Each structure stands twice: as structure tokens, then as C-alpha cells.
């Protein structure tokens, strides 16, 4: 065998060995961490919306993307450990379902990209430098929830024309609570309505708050964004009905669980859109360069069954504006 033939055969053999080996190397499957404060079953509509958003972009859980779901089950003290666990798993991105979760993730890592599914005030909470240029490893979606509190009080005034006193249920330790309360106070001044703020820091405070609202003869209840409230939607809705108090909430899930009405950004729509950030980051975009988005979809949802239970007639002009009516 001459040298040319020998070297040609050797090169052909090496190439034949090389290409199959390269073809067999598995493609890296992205691993996403999803951090929630309350039980995932309670968040089912939101988590499914996130999955749907991923599917629309070509990602199917268990096939070409892995999602590590973690929930604190309503126990805030578990958040740091859960965030640290996702960091140890070396996930590619952490998606957070609310401000306390973003805080926990931020304290756990400065390098893994974090996508906020919703936050009432990302700049005020210290998560981003500005909405247009986040500047760090965090980006995502802002809810503008504080600015909507005044609109919620306005809707209560339309539904209860003789409204004079409103009990406001909030959680003083919740990011954005103080700003939301200020917005309600401004609207209350314009409508000549007196407010009774009731701080709900734990489960045991919920029933106490409704007793206080009834004792002080509140005409209605306004529930601010709160992890405690979100974890006990059905209980709060039932207590409002039992007390014959019209109540307005910041999320449609409260109304689905028996609450009277809600007005605010669509959380499910925001979770679906959070998938867009995941896709962009996986394709090489930096969180620092991705502007924080503001809500594109607001929902007014009314439960007529609940209205009937408390003997309330919803004005036709309010019903006509509803995005969804539960009958």
C-alpha cells in the first residue's frame, strides 16, 4: 500500500469515527426554576399559562425544557432555602411569581437571570435600575397594581352608591402595600369615603379583620395584593359573603373562588408573557438589556351568584364593562 493510499484510508476512518460521535452528543436541555410563595395547586391557572406561553414558543415541558417547580406553601421563611436550592441545581433562569420571591432569588444569585412574572414596583423594590434599562440580572413584568387601587375603589362606589366606609385589607410587610394604600387614600378623599385599614399578617388575622370591619359598620371591603390573601382566597370570599359585605379584589382568581368582583392586570396573561423573556434569555439576550414590560391586559370580573347571595344588584353600566361575568 503506498503512502497516499494509506493516509487517505486513515483520514477516512478518523472522519467516520468523528462525525457519528459528534452526532450522538446530546443537545443541552434548558432547566428553568419557577419559584412560588403559595401552593402550586392554588396557582394552577398561572402555572398553566406559563406552560402555554412556552409551548407557543416551541418549548414542551419534559421534552426540550425542564421546569423545577418550587413552592414555599405560604411559609415565607422557606423562600431563601428554596431559592438557594434552585441556584445549587444550576438552573438557567429563575422565574418568580411575586416580589418576595424575586427578593429571595436576588439574594441567592447575582449571575443567574431572574424573570419577574409580576411586581407592583420593580424600581422601588430595588430589583431594577429603571424599567427601560434594568441593568442587572433581573427583568420581567410590572403589574402597576398600586395605581389600580384607586380604580378599584371607584368601582366599589359605582356598585354601592351610598358607600361611606370601606375596610381595606392589606399586609404591611408586602412590597407595594404602602404605595397601594396611598392610592386608595387619594381616591377615598375624592369620593368622600372613610377608610379602615386592617393589617393581615397571618392566617389568624383574616377572621379578626372581618369582625372588625363588621363592628365598625364597613359598607364594603377592598383587598390589596398580599401573599396571605392569595393563599386564602376561598376563606376571604366566604367571610365577605357571611358578613354581607361587597368586596373587590386585585385578581380574578378570587372571583372564581366566590368573591364578588376584581379589577386589575391579568396575572395569567403576565405568566404567559413571562415565557417570552425565558425564550429571549435562552437565545442569548441579557436581562440587563430587556426592558420591564407593563400590563397590556386589564380585567373586570364579576360574580353574579355572589351578588345575589349578599342581596346586591350590579348596575347595568358596570356589567356592560365586565370582561367576564360568572353567573
For residues 25 and 203, give the distance between their C-alpha atoms in angstroms, rounded to a whole number. Answer: 51
CA-CA distance, 167 to 241, in Å (whole number)? 14
Where along the chain do its domains lie?
Answer: 31-143+267-296, 145-266+299-326
Matching fold, domains 31-143+267-296 and 145-266+299-326: yes
User: Mapping DSSP to helix (H, G, I), strand (E, B) and coil, where does residue 199 land?
Assistant: strand
What is residue 21's predicted lDDT score, i.e. its pLDDT?
44
Among the four given CATH numbers 3.40.50.1450, 3.40.50.2300, 3.40.50.720, 3.40.50.300, the one describing domain 145-266+299-326: 3.40.50.2300
pLDDT tens digits, one per residue of 260-317 = 999 999 999 999 999 999 999 999 999 999 999 998 888 999 999 999 999 999 999 9
Q: Is the pLDDT of residue 7 over 70?
A: no
**Residues contacting 276, CB < 8 A, separation 6+:** 53, 57
Fold of 31-143+267-296: Rossmann fold (3.40.50)
Strands in the chain per DSSP E: 31-36, 66-71, 93-96, 114-116, 138-140, 165-170, 194-199, 220-223, 247-249, 261-265, 298-303, 324-326
Residue 22: pLDDT band (50, 70, 90) is very low
- CA-only gyration radius of the chain, Å: 25
Please indicate, yes or no, whether the overall pTM of this predicted structure exceeds 0.95: no
18: pLDDT confidence band, cut at 50, 70 and 90? low
Amino acid at each position: 500500500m503506498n503512502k497516499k493510499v494509506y493516509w487517505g484510508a486513515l483520514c477516512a476512518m478518523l472522519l467516520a469515527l468523528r462525525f457519528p460521535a459528534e452526532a450522538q452528543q446530546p443537545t443541552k436541555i434548558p432547566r428553568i426554576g419557577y419559584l412560588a410563595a403559595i401552593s402550586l395547586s392554588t396557582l394552577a391557572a398561572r402555572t398553566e399559562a406559563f406552560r402555554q406561553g412556552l409551548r407557543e414558543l416551541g418549548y414542551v415541558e419534559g421534552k426540550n425544557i425542564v421546569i423545577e417547580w418550587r413552592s414555599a406553601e405560604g411559609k415565607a421563611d422557606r423562600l431563601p432555602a428554596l431559592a438557594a436550592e434552585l441556584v445549587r441545581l444550576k438552573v438557567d433562569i429563575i422565574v418568580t411569581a411575586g416580589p418576595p420571591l424575586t427578593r429571595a432569588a436576588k439574594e441567592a444569585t447575582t449571575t443567574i437571570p431572574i424573570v419577574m412574572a409580576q411586581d407592583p414596583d420593580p424600581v422601588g423594590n430595588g430589583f431594577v435600575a429603571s424599567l427601560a434599562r434594568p441593568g442587572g440580572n433581573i427583568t420581567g413584568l410590572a403589574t402597576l397594581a398600586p395605581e389600580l387601587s384607586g380604580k378599584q375603589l371607584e368601582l366599589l362606589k359605582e356598585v354601592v352608591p351610598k358607600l361611606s366606609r370601606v375596610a381595606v385589607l392589606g399586609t404591611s410587610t408586602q412590597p407595594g402595600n404602602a404605595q397601594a394604600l396611598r392610592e386608595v387614600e387619594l381616591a377615598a378623599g375624592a369620593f368622600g369615603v372613610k377608610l379602615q385599614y386592617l393589617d393581615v399578617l397571618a392566617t389568624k388575622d383574616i377572621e379578626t379583620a372581618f369582625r372588625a370591619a363588621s363592628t365598625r359598620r364597613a359598607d364594603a371591603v377592598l383587598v390589596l395584593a398580599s401573599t396571605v390573601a392569595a393563599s386564602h382566597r376561598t376563606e376571604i370570599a366566604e367571610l365577605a359573603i357571611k358578613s354581607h359585605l361587597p368586596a373587590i379584589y386585585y385578581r380574578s382568581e378570587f372571583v372564581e373562588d366566590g368573591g364578588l368582583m376584581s379589577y386589575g392586570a391579568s396575572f395569567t396573561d403576565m405568566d404567559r408573557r413571562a415565557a417570552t423573556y425565558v425564550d429571549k434569555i435562552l437565545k442569548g439576550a441579557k436581562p440587563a438589556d430587556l426592558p420591564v414590560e407593563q400590563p397590556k391586559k386589564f380585567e373586570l370580573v364579576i360574580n353574579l351568584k355572589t351578588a345575589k347571595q349578599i342581596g346586591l344588584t350590579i348596575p347595568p353600566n358596570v356589567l356592560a364593562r365586565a370582561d367576564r361575568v360568572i353567573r
